[in-house]
Structure 1
Amino acid sequence: MPRQVAPPPSGEFIVRLQKPFSGTPTHVVEVIGEPNRSASVKVTDQSSDNAITKKTGDCSADDVNELMSLISQLRGFPSHPSKDIYGLDTRLEFNSFEIQWASDEEDSVSDEVTAENKDTYKQVADSIAALGRTFAKKDAAI
């Protein structure tokens, strides 16, 4: 059964990268915004002693447009609710008015993961992680 998530308000998107794929997240990158505009980037890290660090920042409209272009490639990619089929121990979620996709969805269009799928998924995950490292520099209120 597909994930029943209401799309965000018209034009707004939410991108989320989480490590590990399952269990308690130790690293989360969230990008929230609208296409063709700057977006908010938030990184949350939890260490082994349960200390939580949150950083925030903004990325430019050009970076947002590049991210949207990359993420649009994930439309129709395979997913699995409990198995990391891409081998990166990373879960990705994307929610916009046009596309709702997550790597842990139950209803997948296909269950065959190709080498090209894995490369594209890795490129998108690396880009989201890079946005977090590059722009989330300010300490956030916890």
Structure 2
Amino acid sequence: MRGVPVEYVQWLRIKLTGRRTTLKFDDFASDPFLIERGIDQGCPLSVILYTFYNAALLEAADPKKGETAEGSMDDVAVLVTGWTFSAVHAQLRDFMTRPGGGEDWSLSHRSPFSVDKFGLVNFSRKLSIKKGRLGPALQLN
């Protein structure tokens, strides 16, 4: 974890290692099993830890390319400006697919994106846009 004092990292490693839980519902109770990832539900550290966790994804945005990324917990918004919708869609695709971009972050953090939850909003300064002028659909894997 870059930028985080090693003492904090060590403390968190101890806090998050060896945790066990049991699933209970109806008349069923599972055998205890290890919790391999994540933090405890309702942990007050979650907001701070998500900031560390998402940092590389937010930093993947390149302001020189007109990109900005903002995040809150497990939600991230990537904003891109450009002259045409097609150009902006290509830039968003590049953000996701380039080395160190969104897909790399997703793989390295074992945190798959739910592409079906993605939202794409196009804004234009033009008062009206002719039908079909949004360009091709933005396709991700």
Normalised-by-shorter TM-score class: under 0.3
Of structures 1 and 2, the larger Rg is shown by 2
TM-score, normalised with respect to structure 2: 0.25
Higher RCO (C-alpha under 8 Å, 6+ residues apart):
1
The structure carrying a bigger helix percent of its residues is 2
